[in-house]
A and B are shown apart, each in its own frame.
Chain A
Amino acid sequence: MSAAPGVAQAPVAGAASRRGAAAWITLGAPLAAVTLALGVGAVFILAIGEHPLEIYALMLRESLGTGYGIGQTLFKATPLMFTGLAVALGFRAGLFNIGVEGQLYLGGFAAALAGIAMSGAPAFLLLPAALAAAALAGGVWGAIPGVLKARFGAHEVINTIMLNFIAVAMVSYAGHSLFEHATVRTAEIAPAAALPRLDILWPALRGSPANFSLLVAGILAVAVGVLLFRTRLGYELRAVGLNAPAAEYGGVSIGRTQVVAMTLSGAVAGLGGVNFVLGYKHWFELGFSGGSGYLGIAVALLGRNHPVGVLIAALFFGALSYGGLVINQRVPRELVEVLQALVILLTIGAQQVFERIARKHG
């Protein structure tokens, strides 16, 4: 009988002020986290004898002050948009998809295979086929833990982590016969499968690897937003995530919804692989994902699982990532990783603090 104290008797604030408070938490917590993280980062920079404001100004100028810098930031942000959206989609259904790293990796690999194997096909077929291959590979890799969860109750966190290892090992094994001699990469994809650089739309970005994957990410963000907030499926997905017993009561199959959510999440993550493979190098290379999947978890958290928030958070982490390369001369690269970690920790912390303040003071 040691249940939590009831809410039935708890005094309830007016709806308007509740929504005000909710908006305050939504915007305030991430901003506070970022500000605090930069503040703590400043202490580290001081500790190695550099001037924090100078370093931050340099990062800002280089990552957002020039066309090339913006292009680099966009390029770094693009895979994070995919992985952030993928993680957010899972979170909305109450699932923690840590497998985006593996799903992204396989998506990239599948896109490359399609781009190489169908090299004779015309562009209007080849490009969609390569994109579809990426989505399919990621989707299947997401569906597996989804099915395991729905049928056997196996926890998706464990299974998605395990599947990340399996994905990497599978690709490495396949690489023995597929990769170019004495390299860790595949042959180049057919030119028709390549996604064009963004500088054909926006010449200022010239020289940067930013490419049309960014537009794909933007379209996906809109699609995820519509799915979540304007479709029956999205309604079911959110209901399962927010209160599964009530969703079940409403005639929603929890298991089916979990499988669908994981499959879609995996497909979005898989599509993220095209940024590097179809948009940048035009081949698959071992280890290309470089942790974008895991960083996607931070992006989703900072973006509060909302597509718009995810896009903004991805841009922030993209700028941080490229800015980190630029300041490499003066501060160690690890510092940027410390900054990223701080943002993640503080985002979680700030959310708790803000919610507690909101509860206490309305």
Chain B
Amino acid sequence: MAQPAASLRGITRRFGSLVANRNVSLEIACGEIHALVGENGAGKTTLMRVLYGLLQPDAGTIEVDGRPVRIPDPAAAMKLGLGMVHQHFLLVDTLTVAENVTLGREPHGALSGYRREQAEREVAKLAERYRLPVEPASPVSRLSVGAQQRVEILKALYHGARVLILDEPTAVLTPQEVDELFAVLRALQAQGVTIVLITHKLAEVKAIADRVTVMRAGEVVGGGAISELSIERIAELMVGRPIPPLAPRATRDAAIPLLEVRDLAVRDSRGLPAVRGVTFHVGAGEIVGIAGVEGNGQHQLIECLAGLHAPDRGTIRIASRAVSGRSAREHFEAGLAHIPSDRLHRGLVPPMTLAENLVLGLHRLPELGPGPMLIPSRLARRATRLLGEYDVRPPDPAARAGALSGGNQQKLIAARELTRGAQVLLAAHPTRGVDLGAVAFIHGRLLAERDAGRAVLLVSSELSEILALSDRVFVMYEGRLVHETLPSRTDERVLGLYMTGRADAGAHA
């Protein structure tokens, strides 16, 4: 093999008592697309942060282009030709593409200020060379998510990156945007750029990567050329055991509507129409999926149904009871449970303990204490039971919710919301940023809820999730439900067209 672009040898990195990386070795060949896969908390981001100089290893060595190096900070990493595109973009919304790309190395004269035209020319040239379609003069705030990602990639290239690390790059993209991204990555590869892809979406690994390395619990557990590994084999390596397939769907007739929404319109926080009159219902024993690119009103729809955002007009009935959209408590009491899209913002109080988080919204339950009192030992007892039942790790009622991994935080919320005894469940992006084991667990629970006769409204930008779980599917685009179908009659590509407003009405009905 030719000299590797970068190699990590025997990297160990501890956080207190936890070993995030244990004696990890990884070799990234020049010009390859190398997928680094593993569940959340497996240590893949830690490893890449070590390579990018954001973390210092406790042991181990790093070589770039065959020379041993020390990488004290990202500036040093950039000098060595390493670039990283983070999961959450680090762009300045109000600046233009060119300004963002050149930020920190802006072209300027000896005495004069920023040279806008030169910057825009350089960025346009770079974009052309790597076939990354962007408009250098347009403000970043006007760009789609996919375009913003291209700006991030350009930024890394502008700073001289020859090895590009992408952290979960497809998490925020539509299927079409994923295709575009992969085209870009292949073009980059053709130009000699080496790419490391951190991901846990195995279909994508199979589609784009040359080689794969699998991590579990801080160690490398396997890997090799992609042609020699099946998706099932990689998944098994990641989780450490075979993954059972989803339980087959039990068929049943449409039943009593438990969630009824009529002509609902909601404005966003800036007062602009976000939901523009939607009417639908979810019946007992039914999962209704709403697919859509984020930002098309799903968020406001869910917040309104949860009682967190008053509607402009329209009615909501939960288990035949009319509710106002003005009070979460009113909606809870009518029989609603809600797994919110943003677990750290809405769903949890991160500095509070697991026991305390498990009673959020249930803290008025009489069994938790006499009168105004809330007895800590009763909270802890309840927590011990639920943490075990929902396999939250660590099962320690006194641990802080913020210290859990994403998957365990989501299971914590599921434990609380699914034991409410509610008739209607709102599940917004219930598996976002969650590892495979937790995804399977949460999917199983949602199906169990349906089979127990509850009405489930599922909002997700993961089309595979929508298609796998839903009994009926809507597509939401620009505040309206533009398409209704059955999972058996559609596929990701068709939904993707509706999601981006590109489908002719009726063409795919």
Contacts and interface: CB of A to CB of B under 8 A. Distances in A.
Interface stretch (A3-11, A175-183, A296-304, A337-345): A3-11
A133 B364 CA distance: 32
A231 B374 contact: yes
B59 interface: no
A331 to B, nearest CB: 42
- Interface centre among A22, A233, A250, by most B CB within 10 Å? A250
Nearest to B16: A362
B405 interface: yes
A12 interface: yes
Interface string B165-190: 00110000000000000000000000
A67 B294 CA distance: 69
Contacts of B348: 243, 246
B215 to A, nearest CB: 12
Interface in B430-478: 433
Interface stretch (A44-52, A234-242, A305-313, A316-324): A234-242
Contacts of A17: 16-18
Given A19-B399, A21-B16, A8 B40 contact: yes
A245 B344 CA distance: 10
- Interface centre among A3, A8, A10, A236, by most B CB within 10 Å? A8
A234 B344 CA distance: 21
B306 interface: yes
A233 B364 CA distance: 9
A362 B17 contact: yes
A223 interface: no
A165 to B, nearest CB: 35
A348 to B, nearest CB: 18
Contact of B398 (A5, A14, A19): A19
Contact of A362 (B14, B168, B332): B14
Given A15-B396, A239-B352, A243-B350, A8 B86 contact: no
A321 B445 CA distance: 61
Given A1-B93, A250-B363, A362 B18 contact: yes
Contacts of B347: 246, 249
B494 interface: no
Contact of B356 (A21, A235, A245): A235
Interface string B201-231: 0000000000000000000000000000000
- Interface centre among A2, A22, A249, by most B CB within 10 Å? A249
B17 A11 contact: no
B88 interface: yes
A250 B88 contact: no
A155 interface: no
Contacts of A11: 15, 18, 20, 41, 43, 45-46
B327 interface: yes
A9 B168 contact: yes
A15 B347 CA distance: 20
B242 to A, nearest CB: 25
A235 B360 CA distance: 9
A230 B373 contact: yes
A249 B403 contact: no
B361 interface: yes
Interface range for A: 35 or more
B346 A6 contact: no
Interface string A98-140: 0000000000000000000000000000000000000000000
Contacts of A15: 394, 396, 398-400, 403
Nearest to B346: A249
B57 interface: no
A43 interface: no
A249 B360 contact: yes
Interface in B32-60: 40-41, 43-46
Contacts of B45: 9-11
A247 interface: yes
B375 interface: yes
B364 A14 contact: no
Contacts of B360: 239, 246-247, 249-250
A8 B328 contact: no
A241 B363 CA distance: 16
Contacts of A7: 344, 402, 406
B90 interface: yes
Contact of B16 (A13, A229, A234, A250): A13
A251 B398 contact: no
B314 interface: no
Nearest to B54: A5
Interface string B341-358: 000111111111000100
A247 B349 contact: yes
A18 interface: yes
B305 to A, nearest CB: 12
Interface in A238-266: 238-239, 242-243, 245-253
Contact of B88 (A3, A13, A236, A246): A3
Contact of A13 (B91, B375, B396, B403): B403
28 contacts: A2-B93, A5-B86, A7-B406, A9-B41, A9-B406, A11-B18, A11-B43, A13-B403, A15-B400, A16-B396, A18-B403, A19-B400, A20-B16, A234-B374, A235-B374, A238-B352, A239-B360, A242-B352, A246-B345, A246-B346, A246-B347, A248-B308, A248-B328, A249-B347, A249-B360, A252-B329, A362-B16, A362-B17
The 5 closest A-B pairs by CB, nearest first: A362-B16, A251-B329, A15-B399, A8-B406, A250-B361
Given A1-B93, A2-B89, 14 more contacts: A1-B89, A1-B140, A2-B91, A8-B433, A11-B20, A16-B17, A232-B373, A235-B363, A238-B352, A243-B349, A246-B360, A250-B361, A253-B327, A362-B15
